Chain A
Amino acid sequence: MKKKFDFRVLLILVFVVFIIIGLMNKEWFEVLKNAVLICFSCIGID
């Protein structure tokens, strides 16, 4: 009997782990902090 293992499930698990590591590092706070500030590069101001 051959059972196929969909390696995408493994990829999903890896990305979930990525999210958990990021949350533990409080990366979301850095994302928020960056996003609420005006990005001068995006607007085109040196």
Chain B
Amino acid sequence: MHWNRLKKRFTIFTLKGKILIQTLFTVFYNLPFLSMYLKRVPMPVLYCYSCPLATGACPVGTIQHLLIVGMIPFYTIGIISLIFIFFGRYTCGYMCPFGFYQDLLFRIKTKKIKPKIPYLVYSKYVLIGLVVIGSIISHETLFCKICPAGTLTAGIPQLIIKPALRALAGILFYSKLIILILLTIWSIFEERPFCHYFCPLGAFIGFFNKVSYFQIKMDKDKCIDCDLCRKACPFDIKVYEDLTNLNCIRCGKCIEACPTGALTWGVTNKIPPVVINLNKDTK
């Protein structure tokens, strides 16, 4: 009973206080006085380590760099995966500053559209290949060359504060800037397009949605098949059919939209257990 009350309060807090949580995490990723301790730690979100204020290291950039220098990124994958196994893509929904940027853009009042190109979601898996195989073959941080989060948090600020770098900005910078501008415009009309279609980190975390402790839970007895959760979902996911969808960023909009309270945040110990029969004689 006490646990249920706590769960309900947590749900209300995360839904009502989402902007506050996202702001606090964005502030945390921008604390340069902590960088002397935390720059050696990969963060569980897409945030460029070349940002003048960056607290920690970008996992995607770090993995690429380590593969280029011939190291297997055990430490980086170990740290981020430990976080993801608890939270899944909750890190995308609530902790990612680039996701927050897209959320703020989506709040601009205009006509909104739902995802229209279903096959485009697979491009993020192609980008995982670019991160891993591309960096090994080319010895270049290829994803960084197109990363809009890098342009926003590192490219533009660095060129503003370091005039000497401005002369070096060429076609790569301007092509990155065009990508960022296009994505910014897209984000005003469609919710989280980068997270949905292009984020290689999000694609990686998606697999942890299946096994993470922190999940969206559904009480089937309370579900009235109204489909409001799917309508509220930015990616049109049928939440009632697939609570652990790879594309779900755990934004909580389905929980907020559910009129009967059938959907809640929860910690699960049921997905997916390996059953070991320790004593075959007793049932």
Contact = CB atoms under 8 A, between A and B. Distances in A.
Given A42-B147, A45-B168, A8 B75 contact: no
Nearest to A32: B40
A45 to B, nearest CB: 5
B129 interface: no
Contact of A35 (B49, B168, B177, B273): B49
Contacts of B66: 27, 30-31, 34
Contacts, number: 164
Contacts of A43: 50, 150, 154-155, 158-159, 165, 169, 173
Interface string B41-53: 1100000111000
B74 A25 contact: yes
Interface in B104-138: none
Given A39-B154, A43-B165, A22 B273 contact: no
B61 interface: yes
In this complex, which of A8, A11, A44 has the most chain B Cβ atoms within 10 angstroms of its Cβ?
A44
Contacts of B140: 41
A35 to B, nearest CB: 4
Interface residues of A, number: 36
A27 B79 CA distance: 12
Contact of B82 (A19, A30, A39, A46): A19
A7 B274 contact: yes
Given A18-B78, A31-B42, A44 B151 contact: yes
A17 B150 CA distance: 31
B83 to A, nearest CB: 9
Contacts of B170: 44-46
Given A19-B78, A43-B155, 7 more contacts: A2-B275, A2-B277, A8-B85, A19-B74, A19-B82, A44-B176, A46-B170
